[in-house]
Amino acid sequence: METVSIQQLQHLLRLRSVTVVDFTSSTCAPCRVVAPVLQQLSQHVGVLVVNIDDNAEYICSMYRIRSVPTVALYRNGVEVDRIEGVFTLPQVRQRFGV
């Protein structure tokens, strides 16, 4: 897992064929619950973490984030699926096919 800025995210999404992005916040308790799940998922697929705290309005508007945690699957830079809320490793792997 790699924590990235919004600028880095935009660049990395163009470079990677499959990427999971975790939109999170430091004040979000459910985000802390899914963090270990995403750490395990990162053994199978690239996971980028974007903390929305510094620029929440812009990030939420640009990426249509309604709540955190929001975890989105990108293929070739295009969002193809997302999960909002708490989930288990089997749930996210089955849903995203990774």
Active-site residues, by number, are 28, 31
Q: How far apart are CA 60 and CA 81, in angstroms?
A: 16
Cβ contact 73:35 at 8 Å: no
Which tokens is 34 given?
Answer: 């899914």
Radius of gyration of the chain (CA): 12
Q: How far apart are CA 64 and CA 53, in angstroms?
A: 15
In single-letter form, the type of residue at position 78 comes to: V
